[in-house]
Amino acid sequence: MIYYTSICANYLPKAMALADSLKRHNPKAIFVLCLVEREVPKLASDFEHFDHVVLAKDAGWENFDSFMFRHSIVEASTAVKPRFMQYLMERFTESGKFVYLDPDVLVYGEFVELEALLDKHSIVVAPHLLRPGNVDMEISSLAHGSYNLGFLAVSRSANSEKFVGWWAERLFLFCYDDKVRGIFTDQKWIDLAPSFFDVHILKHHGYDFATWSLLGSDLREQDGAYVVNGDPLRFIHFSGLDSGTIEKAIGWWLEDGNKGVFCKLFEEYKSTLDRFGQKEYGRLPWSYNAYGSGAPIKKSVRVLYRDPALWSSIPSPFDSSDAQISEAAGGADSAKADGVVVGEDAALQARYPRAKSAPPTIVDRFARSILDIGFGASVAKSLKVLVGK
């Protein structure tokens, strides 16, 4: 099988840990690194477990700079995923199975179940949740998507090629963190996939085990391997490491009786990242973060550039400036509409006029709090405010 991940340079230590663990448990795997940078760092080209390192811009784009400019660093590394999968299917013509894994994944076993599934199904996705009960994560899944796109597998077929083509078309135009409009990068789109295509939903607790899986989980060591809720552990998705979400989730959803093994593996994962240079390389700058002049790009200007009219009038945005793009967009970055609106709010209102509104209500604030810290924590926070503590 062909495996790949897509990253910017600051995620190289995580991708190295992923590739190292994948090859250890799946020695026949071919691992391809999709790098969303202008050049390949020596660290990447020298790493033995990266079988191929390909710059995202070399995967078949008409104007990659224009595409990159309208995305943040997180949006960019997800927006390239379907086009890069198409590239892999075009390049590795003798291979029939392709798997995407997020860089913050660590592999613990051979993917025997997935290999077998891809003989029968051409699209395999994994849901965030396999059982009800964690209302925080149920609400979060409504906002961020039912399926976690830290994993996606396809086998070559007309069905999967149509799916990847549809996904690539959608992400070319709409791969933004814009939950107000029902969009969450590449992930929320996949909620539609089972309606449009033949999709197999992988209901195996050992694939994509993550923070959202913790509540009521039974992860244990058994006969020299790990088992979670009766299924052999295949990989853990350590999503939320950099934000501190994993530590919070351990406190929220694990108890003394079921936290030991996960906490042990989490500590081992952090040590693995240190071994691959996380402290040094985890701060590498993104080469698409500034204009050619070296001036930083305002997020609000990236949002303005999402207007397709600007793609033709300013086809080389990295050779431009905040002022030039704002002027071409009608001065929206400092627009006045029903009062003074500046910065990111102005850009959002210029791009999406229906977003203009009165100040957020208490319901709006509570909904945003749920997305940020979860339902239970939001209720506790609200009660403290109500009682004046």
Of 253, 281, 309, the domain-final residue: 281
| Residue 179 confidence (pLDDT) | 87
| Residue 373 confidence (pLDDT) | 55
159 plus 94 within the same structural domain: yes
81 plus 207 within the same structural domain: yes
Nearest to 265 by CA among 250, 244, 277, 248: 250
* Pick from 46-55, 180-189, 193-202: least confident: 180-189
341 plus 380 within the same structural domain: no
| Residue 202 confidence (pLDDT) | 98
Predicted confidence band at 377 (pLDDT cuts at 50, 70, 90)? low
388 plus 327 within the same structural domain: no
| Residue 380 confidence (pLDDT) | 55
Question: Within a domain: residue 292?
Answer: no
Q: Looking at the predicted structure, is the pLDDT value of residue 43 above 50?
A: yes
263 plus 338 within the same structural domain: no
Of 349 and 98, the structure prediction assigns the larger pLDDT to 98
Question: Within a domain: residue 351?
Answer: yes
Overall average pLDDT of the 314-319 stretch? 96
User: Whole domain around residue 382: which residue ranges?
Assistant: 360-389
Question: Within a domain: residue 201?
Answer: yes
Overall average pLDDT of the 47-56 stretch? 98
Of 32 and 338, the structure prediction assigns the larger pLDDT to 32
Q: Looking at the predicted structure, is the pLDDT value of residue 358 above 50?
A: no
Q: Looking at the predicted structure, is the pLDDT value of residue 367 above 60?
A: no
Cβ neighbours for 212, distance < 8 A, ≥ 6 positions apart: 128, 129, 134, 137, 140, 141, 148, 249
Nearest to 71 by CA among 345, 322, 289: 289
Mean pLDDT of the chain: 88
Q: Residue 175: which CATH number?
A: 3.90.550.10
pTM: 0.85
Of 183 and 204, the structure prediction assigns the larger pLDDT to 204
Compute the CA torsion angle 330, 335, 338, 341 (nearest 10 deg).
Answer: 150
365 plus 336 within the same structural domain: no
| Residue 62 confidence (pLDDT) | 86
* Pick from 32-36, 46-50, 306-310: least confident: 306-310
| Residue 155 confidence (pLDDT) | 98
Check if the beta carbon of residue 63 is closer than 8 Å to that of residue 315.
yes
252 plus 346 within the same structural domain: no
| Residue 167 confidence (pLDDT) | 97
Predicted confidence band at 164 (pLDDT cuts at 50, 70, 90)? very high
Check if the beta carbon of residue 22 is closer than 8 Å to that of residue 29.
yes
Check if the beta carbon of residue 155 is closer than 8 Å to that of residue 96.
yes
- C-alpha pair distances (Å), 314 with each of 30, 304, 318: 39, 12, 9
Question: Within a domain: residue 117?
Answer: yes
| Residue 368 confidence (pLDDT) | 54
Question: Within a domain: residue 209?
Answer: yes
Q: Count structural domains, the chain.
A: 3
| Residue 355 confidence (pLDDT) | 40
Proportion of the chain above pLDDT 70, given as a percent: 85
Predicted confidence band at 378 (pLDDT cuts at 50, 70, 90)? low
* Pick from 58-67, 74-83, 114-123, 371-380: least confident: 371-380
Q: Looking at the predicted structure, is the pLDDT value of residue 135 above 70?
A: yes
Of 254, 281, 308, the domain-final residue: 281
234 plus 310 within the same structural domain: no
| Residue 379 confidence (pLDDT) | 53
Overall average pLDDT of the 380-389 stretch? 49
Q: Looking at the predicted structure, is the pLDDT value of residue 338 above 50?
A: no
23 plus 97 within the same structural domain: yes
Q: Looking at the predicted structure, is the pLDDT value of residue 136 above 70?
A: yes
Instruction: For tokens 């694990």, name the residue.
Output: 254
Question: Within a domain: residue 286?
Answer: no
Instruction: For tokens 């506790």, name the residue.
Output: 380
Overall average pLDDT of the 298-313 stretch? 94
Of 57 and 389, the structure prediction assigns the larger pLDDT to 57
Of 251, 281, 311, the domain-final residue: 281
What is the torsional sign of CA 207, 213, 218, 220?
A: positive
Of 360 and 61, the structure prediction assigns the larger pLDDT to 61
Question: Within a domain: residue 289?
Answer: no
Question: Within a domain: residue 174?
Answer: yes
Radius of gyration of the chain (CA): 22
CB atoms within 10 A of CB 35: 28
Question: For residue 217, how far is the Cα from the chain centroid?
Answer: 24
349 plus 365 within the same structural domain: no
| Residue 332 confidence (pLDDT) | 46
Q: pLDDT per residue over 266-302, tens digit each?
A: 999 999 999 999 999 999 999 999 999 999 999 999 9
240 plus 147 within the same structural domain: yes
Cα distance between residue 91 and residue 343, in whole Å: 43
Check if the beta carbon of residue 186 is closer than 8 Å to that of residue 74.
no
Predicted confidence band at 93 (pLDDT cuts at 50, 70, 90)? very high
49 plus 127 within the same structural domain: yes
Main-chain phi, psi angles of 90, to 5 degrees = -75, -35
